[in-house]
Amino acid sequence: MKTILLIDDDEICRKPAAEALRRAKWEVIEAVDGDQGVELAFKHRPDVILCDLLMPRSNGFHVCRAVRENPATKDTRIIVISGRDFPSDRQSAAEAGADDFLVKPVELAQLREALDKTTSMRGETKAPAATAPAPNPKPVADQSTVVKFWGVRGSIPTPGQTTVFFGGNTSCVEVRADGEIIILDAGSGIRPLGESLAAEFRGQPIEITLLITHTHWDHIQGFPFFLPAYDARNRVHILGYEGAREGLASTLAGQMESPYFPIALKQMPGNIVIEELKEMTFNVGTVRVEACFSNHPGVCVGYKLITSSGTIVYLPDNESFNENTDKAHGGALPRNLEKNIAEFIADADVLILDSQYSADEYKAHVGWGHGCVDDVVQIALNNRVKRLFLFHHDPAHDDRYVSNMLMHAREVAQKAGGSLRVEAAREGEQFVLTPRAVNAM
């Protein structure tokens, strides 16, 4: 006689199933919660476990894992039953070790069929899902370089009436250059960008390169909502560097694990390739890209895109250097980092730079890894930048505050003389770089 363990805290479901199985000549053991279920599984080593998912004292996923981890029960067949039918629950149950998944109410015939199927399985492994064929990407033909801001805020999305003008979405900038679609960071601004791309291409394959500066949440949190990643015709190539604790791929996948999000990164139907960069220079099509480590906690880079219409430097998270920064670090700051950043931005046509704090605010935020607007203007002036965009606006700064910071930045630039043009990045704003326009700036 075969033994089955029913683990379900809901007596109304458990009792009738137990009766029916006994009539069908099964030896039935019952458990009223996950912990008791695991205990009885180890004690009796049943042939099959029928397990509810949502239960007190250890849920069904935990039961599956515990049963699989114990050598004495690792081959026990497990059928999970749930009152809900989310694809992510099915996936998580399978990953935890379940052999089958039934949705309540379960008819007796359905249960018999599942038991027949499950008990006839002998250590089979599932065939891996077929890889979707690569799409035939359609190059986007355009001669000029177009830059559009989709998210300009730092730290956390800040919607509301007081941020309507500059915008509340976190870091995301779109660059169309030399036939490439390049996206800088995947903050919450990438969600409306994805909708815009889907509307523009209407089902034609899109090839996109997404450059990630670092995996702080405000730079990756929008990706789960990026529509083109859900279309198998599209190819999304994600590039970035290994983080301080984990690799790029595992960090990106981590924010989409089932405790946080219902769809796993690997379940997104688009052709998503994640590449952890080793070199600091590489090419996206004919666009030359250079990366530079910034003065920010963890591993964070800025990117320089050298296009046929000019050079764009994107450095969204970076603490500018001045005497306060030095004092806070006991005067021992590595000057080569400052020098590298200065060389990196030198002569840029466009510089998009972290300017989170006013000079007063910065005094209380030295060592936080974000820029002070006065220093940002100075570094742009010192390195002959043509056009500066203040970026990574503080969530506490309303439109009036950002406008005042911009006015101040322009005054500083004006007093210094020269031709530096200063703006504050604004969500939805777009500008075009052509060789002629670059020269005129």
Query: What type of residue is 75?
Result: D
Stretch that binds Zn ion, among 72-80, 275-283, 313-321, 414-422 (CB under 5 A): 313-321
Cis geometry, peptide bond prior to residue 139 (ω within 30 degrees of 0): no
> From the CB of 336, what's the least distance to Zn ion, in Å?
21
Stretch that binds Zn ion, among 213-221, 223-231, 250-258, 268-276 (CB under 5 A): 213-221
* Dist. CA 62–CA 374, nearest whole Å: 54
Distances in Å between the Cα of 3 and the Cα atoms of 46, 77, 411 are 5, 11, 81
Intra-chain end-to-end CA distance of the chain, in Å: 85
Total residues at interface with Zn ion (CB under 5 A)? 4
> From the CB of 140, what's the least distance to Zn ion, in Å?
28
> From the CB of 335, what's the least distance to Zn ion, in Å?
22
Token output for 221: 């949190």
> From the CB of 299, what's the least distance to Zn ion, in Å?
10
* Dist. CA 41–CA 10, nearest whole Å: 18
Give whichever of 154 and 228 is closer to Zn ion, judged by the CB atom: 154
Residue 218 makes contact with Zn ion by CB under 5 A: yes
Stretch that binds Zn ion, among 3-11, 127-135, 209-217, 355-363 (CB under 5 A): 209-217
> From the CB of 321, what's the least distance to Zn ion, in Å?
17
Interface with Zn ion (CB under 5 A), residue from 99, 180, 207, 317: 317
Interactions with Zn ion, residue window 2-31 (CB under 5 A): none
> From the CB of 215, what's the least distance to Zn ion, in Å?
9
Residue 216 makes contact with Zn ion by CB under 5 A: yes
* Pairing mode, strands 301-307 and 145-151: unpaired
Distances in Å between the Cα of 216 and the Cα atoms of 208, 211, 221, 325 are 21, 14, 9, 22
Query: What type of residue is 264?
Result: A
Interactions with Zn ion, residue window 111-170 (CB under 5 A): 154
Residue 180 makes contact with Zn ion by CB under 5 A: no
Give whichever of 216 and 397 is closer to Zn ion, judged by the CB atom: 216
Token output for 254: 């981590």
Residue recorded with tokens 């239960």 = 55
Interactions with Zn ion, residue window 369-428 (CB under 5 A): none
Nearest to 9 by CA among 42, 43, 57: 57
Task: Give me the residues that bind Zn ion (CB under 5 A), please.
Answer: 154, 216, 218, 317
